[in-house]
Amino acid sequence: MFENMAGALSELFTWSSALGLLIGVVGGMIIGALPGLSATMGIALLIPVTYGMRPSAAILMLAAIYTAAVYGGSISAILIHTPGTPSSAATCLDGYPMAQKGESLHAIGISTTSSVIGGVISAIALLLIAPPLARLSLNFGSTEYFLIAVFGLTLIASLAGDNMVKGLIAGTFGLVVGLVGLAADGSARYTFGVTGLLGGISLIPAMIGLFSVSQVMIQADERGKEAVKKEVVKISGRFLPTGKEFVHLIPLILECSVVGVFIGILPGAGGDIASWVGLNIAKSQSKHPELFGTGIVEGVAAPESANNAVTGGALIPLLTLGIPGSSTAAVLMGGLTIHGLAPGFELFSKYADITYCVILGFLAANILMGLVGWAAGRYLTMVSKVPIPLLIPCIAVLSLLGSYAASRNITDVYVAVAFGLIGFFFRKYGIPTAPVVLALILGPMSDKYMYQGTRVAMKKDLSFWQYIPTRPLSIFFIILIVLALFAPLVSKAISKSYEKKHGHIDAAEDI
Amino acid sequence: MHKTRIQDLVISLCVIALGVFMWVQTADFTDESKQFSRFVLLLFLLMGVILLVITLINAKKPAGKEVTLKEFKNPMLMFVIICVYVAMMITIGFFPATLIFMPVSMLFMGYRRPLPIICTTIGMNLFVWVLFVYSLKVRLPEGADFMSFLSFLY
């Protein structure tokens, strides 16, 4: 690991990486602060901007957007009682009452400090855990990779939201769409004689359509309606916590950060769950649990450290095994694919300079996020005042432009528009769109490894399904798949228990 | 059947119909390609059937929010505007199409203040030109031959 640091640092200290870092942090904070826009959509929209960038700067920018958007969501949660992202819903409970008491700046300061510490700890965990895990992947054969893809597909159930069957329909629809084009053996499938379909449905336009174009259509329903003016509390109070306060909060922040990292690694359990778990830890350790909800610093520090710690944790299975545990991670994986980077050991050997640059840059992004938050966090609420009618055409133009720029092919624009329509209907009828993206990525991967595995099995006079149990590592993955199938039930039970205790806060839809 | 269940019924029938149509197509596939395609289609069909069964069992109980046709009016109009924008992009080129699309969609959304509309439209086009044309050297759609007098923009 350390032998790669010099190369990674020289990669990090380039103008393009520095610019990517800055744009990612500021852009992410703005996206996070805007209720209705999430990290997922932000990354999907900005992937095209990275085409001309060096891969290290590009992935760094996308990772910075991820962590900064989670933090940005807390600012609108504190100042306008509307969480910019679902991860910040728990922050509303004490953040907004603090702001109402005239301590808005202090609440933002506590949120900034906790988010930075949570993010930094998750970046360190990423640096320490990911390389050995990636080395483990050297022992994997085609059956293990097939099972990893299937394991990833089981996450669809956890991304499904309230209606699991509809989520699974979305996931299998993504798999069906992934069938279009050339099969692993080189034969054409579902191309209907159209040459343009031989390459399959492009991932980026489909993703942009599902997340961004559909959002434009959803927002069009607000046509002509008077925007509800959100009351923004006055910015007042001191920003940074006092020394005494910091000493009091640091054990809680550290504990919530570690818990957040583990939640991030778990498939399907994202920042929203982590923030509620963090809040519960704070409450259970407090001598005055009755004060939670009245505007106390612990109620902001705990969820904010936990939800930012999730970001680095979620990158661990993504970079090492290629398992995107959330919609944001799935879109990030799309970003990796675009730059020709495949998750696994190669990322930590052949492309070590790029990968370690991204990890170190991710660490730097969390620190930079604190500095930008300190300098400009209070002004971020102005972003939420931008009229939706001005924002919508900009998103539409960037969406279509992004789809076109991917391969300079107008067909991709048609794909984005078509998937925008599909995404709109899906969302209207309560079918989640994130599983479609996950399946679009993992479907062709499982197809390829099933084909390779079948070839290997044939040499041993076995069928593919008979060959799987002959490999011990494959049995381990089968157990993992079975466990993952139960994960959504457990995480749903946790969410329900916290919602019951703390009440439900409407968060911006996670798109 | 409860109104909210009818939409689930339609979804499940669409899934089954699409699944069956695609299954029939696999007859022409190679054996290796057929294996994975049928595995996926089987899952897809299974989900459609499960949703159908759940819908029929709970036919009288409400399921979530009812979606009315009225809710589709503005989004579908926006979709038409986007489609026209794409068509204009091909015929008159990206920048003229964007210069028309942006103010039209802002006005469609009910925004009437001219200065922010003009500033956002010009600002967006400048941003796209600087980032994509100047920096990333992306050749944007230039439109048909009669728009060649604007080729210096690309």
Residue A39 resides in a domain: yes
**Residue that has been written with the tokens 């963090």 in this structure:** A278
Residues 37-96 of B with CB under 8 A from A: 37, 39-41, 43-44, 47-48, 50-51, 54, 64-65, 67, 71-72, 74-79, 82-83, 85-86, 89-90, 94
Q: Residue A436's closest CA among A153, A231, A129, A33?
A: A153
> Is there a single domain that holds both residue B76 and residue B148?
yes
> Is there a single domain that holds both residue B51 and residue B75?
no
The answer to whether the CB of A333 falls within 8 A of the CB of A322 is: yes
Over chain B, what is the mean pLDDT?
89
- Residue B36 pLDDT > 70, yes or no? yes
Per-residue pLDDT of chain A (511 residues; tens, 9 = 90+): 667 777 788 888 888 889 889 999 998 888 888 766 778 878 888 887 887 788 889 999 999 999 999 898 888 888 877 777 778 888 888 888 888 888 888 899 999 999 999 999 999 999 999 888 888 878 888 888 888 888 877 777 666 656 778 888 998 999 999 899 888 778 888 888 888 788 888 888 898 898 889 989 988 887 766 555 556 666 767 778 888 888 989 999 999 999 999 888 876 667 777 888 888 888 888 888 888 888 888 999 999 999 999 999 989 988 888 877 677 888 888 888 888 888 888 888 888 888 999 999 999 999 999 999 888 877 776 776 778 888 889 989 988 988 888 778 888 899 999 999 999 999 888 888 878 888 888 888 888 888 888 888 888 888 888 888 888 888 888 888 888 777 666 766 766 666 666 555 544 444 3
Boundaries of domain holding B134:
70-153
- Taking only the tens place, the pLDDT of each residue in A171-204 is 899 999 989 988 877 888 888 888 878 888 888 8
Q: What are phi and psi for residue A332, nearest 5 degrees? A: -60, -35
Distance from CA of B61 to the nearest CA of A (A): 15
Residue B114 resides in a domain: yes
Residue A509 resides in a domain: no
CB contact under 8 A, A417 and B72: no
Tally of structural domains, chain A? 1
Residue A508 resides in a domain: no
Query: Tell me, what's the pLDDT at A498?
Result: 63
Residue B138 resides in a domain: yes
Searching chain B, which residue's CA lies closest to the CA of residue A54? B136
In our burial notation (b when 16+ CB lie closer than 10 A, e otherwise), range A88-106 reads: bbbbbbbbbbbbeeebbbb
Domain boundary among B57, B79, B95: B57
Q: Does A184 touch chain B (CB under 8 A)?
A: yes
> Is there a single domain that holds both residue B52 and residue B125?
no
> Is there a single domain that holds both residue B76 and residue B38?
no
DSSP A10-57: HHHTSHHHHHHHHHHHHHHHHHHHSTT--HHHHHHHHTGGGTTS-HHH
Query: Tell me, what's the pLDDT at B53?
Result: 93
Residue B78 resides in a domain: yes
CB atoms within 10 A of CB A52: 16
Average pLDDT of the segment spanning B46-71:
85
Domain boundary among B32, B57, B82: B57
Residue B11 resides in a domain: yes
Residue A31 resides in a domain: yes
Element (H, E) at A455: helix A434-459
Query: Tell me, what's the pLDDT at B15?
Result: 94
Tally of structural domains, chain B? 2
Query: Tell me, what's the pLDDT at B46?
Result: 93
Residue A462 resides in a domain: yes
Residue A188 resides in a domain: yes
The answer to whether the CB of A76 falls within 8 A of the CB of A40 is: no
> Is there a single domain that holds both residue B42 and residue B112?
no
Boundaries of domain holding A324:
2-381+390-502
Alpha-carbon distance of A384 to A477, in angstroms, equals 45
Query: Tell me, what's the pLDDT at B152?
Result: 78
> Is there a single domain that holds both residue B84 and residue B137?
yes
CB contact under 8 A, A392 and B105: yes
- Residue B88 pLDDT > 60, yes or no? yes
Distance from CA of A226 to the nearest CA of B (A): 9
Query: Tell me, what's the pLDDT at A6?
Result: 79
Q: Two tokens at A296?
A: 């106390």
ipTM over 0.90: yes
Over chain A, what is the mean pLDDT?
83
> Is there a single domain that holds both residue B147 and residue B100?
yes
CB contact under 8 A, B124 and A428: no
- Cα distances from A426 to residues A2, A415, A432, B61, in angstroms, run 47, 16, 7, 21
Cα A148 from chain centre: 19
More confident residue, B9 or A230: B9
> Is there a single domain that holds both residue B90 and residue B133?
yes
Residues 445-484 of A with CB under 8 A from B: 446-447, 450-451, 454, 464
> Is there a single domain that holds both residue B93 and residue B27?
no
The answer to whether the CB of A40 falls within 8 A of the CB of A511 is: yes
> Is there a single domain that holds both residue B112 and residue B149?
yes
Element (H, E) at A188: strand A188-189
Query: Tell me, what's the pLDDT at A268?
Result: 61
Q: Residue A64's closest CA among A32, A94, A35, A36?
A: A32
Q: Does A397 touch chain B (CB under 8 A)?
A: yes
> Is there a single domain that holds both residue B148 and residue B83?
yes
Q: Which of B25, B32, B67 sits opposite A451 (nearest CB)?
A: B32
Residue B64 resides in a domain: no
Query: Tell me, what's the pLDDT at A491?
Result: 65
Residue A510 resides in a domain: no
Q: Taking CB atoms and an 8 Å cutoff, what residues of chain B touch A395?
A: none
